[in-house]
Structure 1
Amino acid sequence: MVDQNPTTAAVNDFATWEPVLRLLLAGLPGRPAGTPARVAGRIGRDGWSLALRRNPPPPGRAAQVEDDQDQYDAVERVQKALAGAGIEDISFTAEVTPTGRTALHLLGPSPAVEPGLGSPHPGALLLVEGSLPEPWRRLPEPVPGAGPARSADPLLLERTLRERLPEAVGATETEIAAAEVRLGVPLPEELKALYRVTRARWEDWGDDYASAQRVFASVGCELLPLEGLYVADAPSRHYRWDIAATEAIVTRPGAAVQGLVGSPGWIAFGDNGGGDVLAVDLTPGPRGHVGQVIMLSHEESVGAALLADCLTDLVLGQPADDPAGRPDGPPAVARVNIMSLRSIEAAVHPGLEVLSIGVWEDEPLSLAPVTGLPLLRTLTAYPGTLADPLEIAGLTGLEFLELGPQEWRVLLDAGAVPRSLSAAAIEARGDEDPLSVVAIANELLALWGRPLIIRTTVEGDLGPVARR
């Protein structure tokens, strides 16, 4: 059935998809003549995942867009339709008969489903609206007695920067107070001293890059303007449920920085030029200082690294020695697979939060050893690795569960899907029929009354090309 909504008319027009389907069919390896075919993929407004081979460039020349212009044109046709309909991302699968008759199934979107990564299968299913993975809910622990570093000196900091930047335009006390109101947190004295010297606005530098670079070199980072300061709390860090649920928060006894996703006491004020955020830390770890400078890596979603004991040290070029602390017990995240732990028993301890079972070549595994563990909240199991999926019923604290389609089928048929879940995912192999995976996803969404993945079928005829 074709959706007749005029805003999605182009998306649901077979002609929009025809060039993409023809390219996918032409690229199918070893397809016997006169046999049906199935193709699938995902196209978003900013990228796509399609099984298309790139054409090699002529010898001696680098690859260029023109070498695969037909692919770019075909995808762009769909992307324009998505943009017109206000759709960010859509997956599809198509069944093509030997005569060329085609049933194109468009899948999604749903506000309760994250897009899949590199596949037409759905990503994480958000069973509880607004829910967050446990690490994203974690707040900093109080550290009694924590105070500024001895080297923190707002007067020295301000004097040093004024000597380096005699023509800089500083922020007024009114502007600083307005920033504090906006952020909802008082700025530490060193940060106030920094912005009294320069408020880091491009218009103050006459949009001159060299002037900006002098400020950045003097401070030790690419400084945000006063109006750009923000609190680097957990929601400010991007996450995907299926990945974030496998993270764990750990702060070692000797750590200077708490192992958090974010904190209401992390005030972001700069960038290292490579996408990593610099922040003043007002909620330090057991061995840290209030006002220390930390860096949040753009390649990670949890934790931060200590750069300097205070802003004064950062400006004076005195890096900190980070006493990260040694692990004081078994890891909160355990991975059982052919390259890591070789049994579930080896992963068991009271602090286990995440159990991930990967590729496995031996007999399927029993979950009995982890039944009753007080903190276990995440279980991911590669298809075929569990001896009895119904043992999951004994894991009463799960908030995230990722299983293969057959394992989910067992739980659904037995009415044994854990009601403690906030999110779930289906681990589907590449050759799994997207329609069957979406059917299971919709059964799970329906159990929580969440919006289903919409399936729209569009019929058409690819003609002689499909009959080759």
Structure 2
Amino acid sequence: MSSIQDLETWEPLLRLVRAAHAEQLAAPGGRFTGQISLGSWTLPAPQPRSAPGRALQVVDMQDQFTAVERVQAALRADGASGVSYVVETGPDGRPLLHVITAGPAVEHGVRSPFVGALLLVEGAVPEPWRRLPEEFPGAAPAPSADPALLERTLRERLPDAIGATAEEIAAAEARLGVTLPDELKALYRVTRARWQDWSGDYAAQERVSTAVGCELFPLDGLYIADARSRPCPWQYAAKDAVVTAPDAAVQGLVGSPGWIAFGDNGGGDRLALDLTPGPGGHAGQVIMIDHERSIGAALRADSLTDMVVNHRHEWRSDVAWNRPPVVVQVSTHSPVGIAAAARPELEVLRIGPTGAPVSLASVAGLPRLRTLTASPGTLADPLEIAGLTDLEYLSLGAEEWRLLLSAGAVPRSLSAVAIDVPGDQHPLPVLDLANELLALWDRPLITRTVLEGDLGTDGKAGGTR
């Protein structure tokens, strides 16, 4: 038996829950949920109060730390990263602990029962993460691009820097599988930005950052900022769309094989040279990849020379994604109705909450509609989903899913799905429903082990069923 499924692993945590919620757990129906991973946890127990006149100390929460650390040790022993649990009182009044392991076909969720998207097709990613850049034949380097000027300027600013050799630059190109632009080669001929070259001198590192205008990656730290470098859970990524305006400088992509990341602005946003610019951009322009967004990038400078020589720090974003007619929200607070949303460009349709249930008849057969999310109770006839033949992601309430399952009408085009669980619903029926959906695609199921024990006692009595 896995140690994470051993009642002894959970006894300290169960005693805490029992002590904190004795009244609620005294009668059948009382329950509490939580989750524990190697780096975080949720525990349905109140935070202790500190003694008057002093801040909360580690010792004040030692019982919680001890309880969580025992479960984390079991996770490490089992080679697992996390587990969810439900503590409840059974019909006979006995306390029950449900130990829930999501498995590889389930993304992490933020609300109970901590189940996010169900991955029906192994390795599948949402359409924006499959989108490659368009080619715009007229895209050329900006007039400001001047590798010789860039190199002279940097040598004046960094006279003692150690530059990369031709062999080191060639090795970086071989590793990346691309030829580095001349401006980037000029930069690294002046400084290869290795920490070892600075001998622990933070001031030397700061001089390089000031001279270049960013925290420069070492030559062997360059990477291709393609879509794989910017992962995002299905439940969010499926609602994004790639949109590039006719005059946009930067294509509205998740990532591109032509985005060569070379630095950071100190706040987590990456700088890259863009070799696949938008229709209004220049080849080799400098873009900013915002770490708080999952799609798109912003223009920082027309060229690396322009950024360095002229100290360009501002950046401009061509925000064109997640707007009608490609992405549409239909709700009581939205000016767009579902009939108006039914345009050939529509890719993502989000419904709810609405004043009255809506029909999907007007969007049936749309050629690009791939994502539908509908809050519980917002669809007049969930079986109309059968007319949406190209869906790859679908999020519905539990009752809508049960209706589709009963009718054998779950679309086979789906790559991922989600169950919308509002409010405080019992998590176990939701997990059972999730397993029904996973089973349709023969995917690994969510496992649940039920442990019985005497909460709040020091005995080891208990069992598994």
Q: TM-score, normalised to structure 1's length?
A: 0.92
Q: Which amino acid aligns with 2:348?
A: V
Correspondence for 2:350 among 338, 346, 356: 356
Q: List aligned pairs for 1:221-240, cutoff 5 A.
A: 221-240=214-233
1:322 Cα deviation after fit: 4.6
1:320 Cα deviation after fit: 7.1
Q: List aligned pairs for 1:244-323, cutoff 5 A.
A: 244-316=237-309, 317-318=311-312, 322=316
1:144 corresponds to 2:122: no
SS in structure 2 of the partner of residue 217 of structure 1:
helix
1:462 corresponds to 2:448: no
Q: List aligned pairs for 1:345-384, cutoff 5 A.
A: 345-360=339-354, 362-384=355-377
Maintained 8 Å contact 1:330/1:349? no
1:234 Cα deviation after fit: 0.2
1:68 Cα deviation after fit: 3.1
Q: Which amino acid aligns with 1:388?
A: D
SS in structure 2 of the partner of residue 124 of structure 1:
strand
Distance 2:141 2:85 in 1: 56
SS in structure 1 of the partner of residue 329 of structure 2:
strand
Distance 1:341 1:53 in 2: 43
Residue 426 to residue 68, structure 1, CA distance change in 2 (3 Å): same
Q: Which amino acid aligns with 2:34?
A: G
Maintained 8 Å contact 2:254/2:296? yes
Q: Which amino acid aligns with 2:429?
A: S
Q: List aligned pairs for 1:403-414, cutoff 5 A.
A: 403-414=396-407
1:51 Cα deviation after fit: 3.3
Of residues 396-405 and 61-70 in structure 1, the stretch that sits farther from structure 2 once superposed is 61-70
Aligned residues: 457
SS in structure 2 of the partner of residue 114 of structure 1:
strand
Q: Which amino acid aligns with 1:83?
A: R
Distance 2:179 2:114 in 1: 46
Maintained 8 Å contact 2:299/2:317? no
Correspondence for 2:167 among 171, 174, 186: 174
Residue 321 to residue 461, structure 1, CA distance change in 2 (3 Å): closer
SS in structure 2 of the partner of residue 420 of structure 1:
coil
Residue 66 to residue 463, structure 1, CA distance change in 2 (3 Å): closer
Q: Which amino acid aligns with 1:213?
A: E
Superposed CA RMSD in Å reads 2.3
Q: Which amino acid aligns with 1:288?
A: G
SS in structure 2 of the partner of residue 193 of structure 1:
helix
1:90 corresponds to 2:80: no
1:391 Cα deviation after fit: 0.9
Of residues 293-302 and 382-391 in structure 1, the stretch that sits farther from structure 2 once superposed is 382-391
Correspondence for 1:332 among 319, 322, 326: 326
Maintained 8 Å contact 1:119/1:430? no
1:104 corresponds to 2:85: no
Distance 2:321 2:385 in 1: 30
Q: Which amino acid aligns with 2:452?
A: E
SS in structure 2 of the partner of residue 386 of structure 1:
coil
SS in structure 2 of the partner of residue 123 of structure 1:
strand
1:143 Cα deviation after fit: 0.7
Quote the residue 2:381 is aligned against: 388
Maintained 8 Å contact 2:243/2:320? no
Residue 99 to residue 453, structure 1, CA distance change in 2 (3 Å): closer
Distance 1:330 1:435 in 2: 38
Maintained 8 Å contact 1:121/1:437? no
Larger RCO of the pair (alpha carbons < 8 Å, separation 6+): 1
1:151 Cα deviation after fit: 0.6
1:73 Cα deviation after fit: 2.4
1:58 Cα deviation after fit: 5.1
Unaligned runs of 5+ in 1: none
Residue 61 to residue 285, structure 1, CA distance change in 2 (3 Å): farther
1:436 Cα deviation after fit: 1.0
Identity value in percent? 62
Q: TM-score, normalised to structure 2's length?
A: 0.92
Quote the residue 1:24 is aligned against: 17
Distance 2:393 2:322 in 1: 26
1:315 Cα deviation after fit: 0.8
Of residues 433-442 and 229-238 in structure 1, the stretch that sits farther from structure 2 once superposed is 433-442
Distance 2:321 2:228 in 1: 27
Correspondence for 1:153 among 143, 146, 149: 146
Q: Which amino acid aligns with 1:133?
A: P
Distance 1:323 1:209 in 2: 32
Residue 45 to residue 118, structure 1, CA distance change in 2 (3 Å): farther
Distance 1:45 1:401 in 2: 30
Distance 1:440 1:303 in 2: 35
1:55 Cα deviation after fit: 3.2
Residue 264 to residue 204, structure 1, CA distance change in 2 (3 Å): same
Correspondence for 1:199 among 184, 192, 198: 192
Correspondence for 2:6 among 13, 23, 38: 13
Q: Which amino acid aligns with 1:415?
A: G
Q: Which amino acid aligns with 1:345?
A: A
Distance 1:120 1:323 in 2: 37
Per-residue deviation, residues 163-183 of structure 1 (Å, max 9, x unmatched)? 111111100001101111110
1:26 Cα deviation after fit: 4.1
1:374 Cα deviation after fit: 1.4
1:209 corresponds to 2:209: no
Distance 1:329 1:43 in 2: 37
Maintained 8 Å contact 2:9/2:71? yes
Distance 2:326 2:386 in 1: 21
Distance 1:456 1:323 in 2: 49
Distance 1:397 1:454 in 2: 31
Per-residue deviation, residues 332-373 of structure 1 (Å, max 9, x unmatched)? 11112333346322432221111112333x222221221122
Quote the residue 1:75 is aligned against: 68
Unaligned runs of 5+ in 2: 459-465
